[in-house]
Amino acid sequence: MTQTVGHYVALTKPRIIELLLVTTFPTMFLAQRGLPSLWLIVATLVGGTLSAAAANTLNCYLDRDIDKVMHRTQNRPLVTGAISPPAALRFGAVLGLASTLWLGLLVNWLSAALSLGAILLYVGFYTMLLKRRTSQNIVWGGAAGCMPVLIGWSAVTNSLAWPALVLFLIVFFWTPPHYWPLSMRFKDEYEVAGVPMLPVVAKDVVVARQVVIYSWHTVVTTLALVPIASMGWIYLVVAVLSGGLFLFEAHKLLTRAKTPANVTVASLNPMRLFHYSISYLTLVFLAVAVDSLLHLPLP
């Protein structure tokens, strides 16, 4: 029984859910301009978890043929046969329905609609339409991963506003420089699976340039939040320092890609930027929360 539960949990990709929640609750602090009610935070995070779990489970169901040929995904439950495809499909559908009803009844229906939209974007737009057809799959399909900030904002205000859109754009621009380094590391596996990730169809230096461009867009957008949301010193300092390191790592990847001697994945070391990108997004959004609680206004 415990092992079966573990297999179902694995379908939901818990590590991805953790990252999505990191962007949700700080947004709630900013929307509230302080500390939202504990019940509202818990209800929103539970609903968001169910929503992301549904999307990830349905993604595993649709991508089980790809997962079978990629080394890093060969141990997923649908590949090993620990869970059958019909059971996974039912599980994902139940999670999607539960998340929509949970958010609608316990938070508000705008948050529920945004949550359902996120599932449809990830499953329909990214997994079914874009992933196997275009190298820009993660750019536009990544919009699904931006939805938690809108859900967090709407949970508090039952509306949307410009600061929420800026937070959405931060995650949107951040996604390519986060995911493309990972794709560089596993580009041989993506190629075998027939998935045209940008590192599969373009040279490393081209990918690295795109990483730098999107990294600059990300950092500039984090700074745009300062006047739009009246952020204070805490957020500004964290955004500048962590953003500076993010840009440094992105440019360092480009420098390595331009060096003729760096022809292997090991010499490019793209995972260095991938791992830091997670810390960077976490720092920026935690700064949003802390700044909302301990606001030290700029002059």
pLDDT tens for 91-118 read: 999 999 999 999 999 999 999 999 999 9
Is the pLDDT at 1 greater than 80? The verdict is no
Domains 1-155 and 161-299 share a fold: no
Question: If you average pLDDT over residues 196-207, what whole number do you get?
Answer: 95
User: Judging by beta carbons within 10 Å of its beta carbon (0-12, 13-18, 19+), is residue 49 exposed, middle or buried?
Assistant: buried
Is the pLDDT at 219 greater than 90? The verdict is yes
Confidence class for position 267, pLDDT limits 50, 70, 90: confident
Question: If you average pLDDT over residues 230-259, what whole number do you get?
Answer: 96
Q: How does the average pLDDT of the chain come out, rounded?
A: 94
Which CATH architecture describes the domain 1-155? Answer: Orthogonal Bundle (1.10)
Model pLDDT, residue 263: 66
Query: Would you list the domain boundaries of the chain?
Result: 1-155, 161-299
Model pLDDT, residue 73: 87
Model pLDDT, residue 171: 97
| CATH class of the domain at 161-299 | mainly alpha
pLDDT tens for 26-55 read: 999 999 999 999 999 999 999 999 999 999
pLDDT tens for 124-158 read: 999 999 999 999 999 988 899 999 999 999 999 99
